[in-house]
């Protein structure tokens, strides 16, 4: 079964305190949903072309369905409310191959 991934690229961080509060809620929500963090806010980013070196987060799940369910979970939705306008990001859930 193909794995599922959350890919989140932060374009801007306007409120670091909101981001920290989000991280404190999102981490446990992701782990409860079966997610495994493959990069962190401190991971180095080498950007090419129109790339962004701000913050890139990659999280792996056992399936796309599990990744979607974790995003839709009550716990993760509470984290999103806390983040609100504290950051602008490009967030995607994708299915891996094989």
Contact 10, 73 (CB under 8 A): no
pTM of the predicted model as reported, rounded to 2 decimal places: 0.90
At 31, the pLDDT band (50, 70, 90 cuts) reads very high
- Say yes or no to pLDDT of 44 above 90: no
Contact 6, 34 (CB under 8 A): no
Domain count, the chain: 1
Mean pLDDT of the chain: 94
Q: What is the CATH number of the domain that holds 57?
A: 3.30.70.100
Q: From the CB of residue 89, how many other CB atoms can be counted at a distance below 10 Å?
A: 19
Q: Rounded distance, CA 38 to CA 5, Å?
A: 10
Instruction: Domain of residue 43: give its range.
Output: 4-95
């Amino acid at each position: 079964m193909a794995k599922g991934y959350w890919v989140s690229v932060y374009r801007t961080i306007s409120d670091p305190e909101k981001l920290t509060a989000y991280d404190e809620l999102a981490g446990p929500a992701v782990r409860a949903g079966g997610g495994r963090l493959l990069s962190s806010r401190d991971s180095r980013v080498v950007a090419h072309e129109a790339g962004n070196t701000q913050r890139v987060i990659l999280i792996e799940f056992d399936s796309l369905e599990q990744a979607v369910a974790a995003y839709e979970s009550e716990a993760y939705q509470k984290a999103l409310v806390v983040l609100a306008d504290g950051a602008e990001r490009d967030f995607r859930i994708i299915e891996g191959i094989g």
